[in-house]
A = this chain, B = another copy of it.
């Protein structure tokens, strides 16, 4: 099992690789993103952090989230002009935005898809990233009630 100390040190390492410091606020926020991976907004992160860090300010939440994005532990997701949402990254994935419920789902991308999509670019276009956003209804079956 991964101990708390291990993940703290991994985070500290990642941060310092980007010239940033590890702080209690950054640790709490990163762990909270890992615990509930539902693409919270900064305000939601703020609310979830408060019980652990009652004095934390919204500005710090933004600062911490930006730090985590900078060291590539977290990705931002935007739908239209809604508030930015944060997702503890790793695998390449697309996002499915349920227009009914507002929920965001990660969609794993099969190997090669990104390259295949990039291959439609005319000469002269060098894409460093490709973002794919689906919109629609997700019929995510609720946890099956035992009959």
Point out residues on A near B: beta carbons under 8 Å. 76, 78, 80-81, 84, 94, 96, 99, 105, 107, 109-110, 113, 117-118, 120-122, 124-141
- Residue pair B107, A128 in contact (C-beta under 8 Å): no
A-B contact pairs, 25 of them (CB 8 A): A96-B121, A96-B127, A107-B121, A107-B122, A110-B120, A113-B117, A117-B117, A124-B138, A124-B139, A124-B141, A125-B136, A125-B138, A125-B139, A126-B136, A126-B137, A126-B138, A126-B139, A127-B135, A128-B135, A128-B136, A130-B132, A130-B135, A131-B131, A131-B134, A132-B132
What residue in chain B is nearest A76 (Cβ atoms)?
Answer: B80
Residue among B80, B81, B109, B118 making CB contact with A120, cutoff 8 Å: B109
- Residue pair B109, A124 in contact (C-beta under 8 Å): no
The complex is assembled from copies of this chain, and their number is: 2
Task: Decide yes or no: A134 and B138 within 8 Å by CB, A78-B78, A81-B81 being known contacts.
Answer: no
The smallest beta-carbon distance between A140 and chain B, in angstroms, is 6
Beyond contacts A107-B120, A125-B136, A129-B134: 10 other A-B pairs, Cβ-Cβ < 8 A, are A76-B80, A96-B127, A107-B122, A110-B120, A117-B132, A126-B137, A127-B134, A130-B132, A132-B133, A133-B133
Docked Cα-Cα span, A10 to B124, in Å, equals 36
